[in-house]
Amino acid sequence: MSSLASPRAPVIVRNEGDAVVLELVDHLDEETGRVLVDAVAAAVASDPQRVDIDLTGIARWTDEGAASLVRCREMCRQLPEGLHYRTGRGPGRDALLAAYR
């Protein structure tokens, strides 16, 4: 008997107080970047105080995916507390640094 596990969504959205948190999972590539930008647009439309993008769950990234992080910052400029990135050492931090080179 085989079991088929459904793939995990590339962006998980949750509310934490006045913030909308978007958690990235596994791979930040061009496709995930598009999903992220769409999710940020939806989050901004809900009028939160801020948006957080959690990069601690990514294992790898591409330049195209990292570029989406800059677009997200632009979209959050009008929020009272703007955009925050959550990252530690590793691929998430590397992707963020690459985005702002």
* CATH number of the structural domain spanning residue 76: 3.30.750.24
DSSP 90: S
pTM above 0.75, yes or no: yes
Confirm whether 33 is domain-assigned: yes
Give me the domain span that covers residue 57. 11-99
Confirm whether 38 is domain-assigned: yes
Confirm whether 3 is domain-assigned: no
Residue 36: its pLDDT value, please?
97
Rounded CA separation 23/34 (Å): 14
Confirm whether 1 is domain-assigned: no
Confirm whether 43 is domain-assigned: yes
Rounded CA separation 19/11 (Å): 16
DSSP string, 23-49: EE-EEE-HHHHHHHHHHHHHHHHT--S
Confirm whether 87 is domain-assigned: yes
> pLDDT tens for residues 26-52?
999 999 999 999 999 999 999 999 999
Structural domain count of the chain: 1
Residue 1: its pLDDT value, please?
42
Confirm whether 2 is domain-assigned: no
Confirm whether 4 is domain-assigned: no
92: Cα separation from own chain's centroid: 10
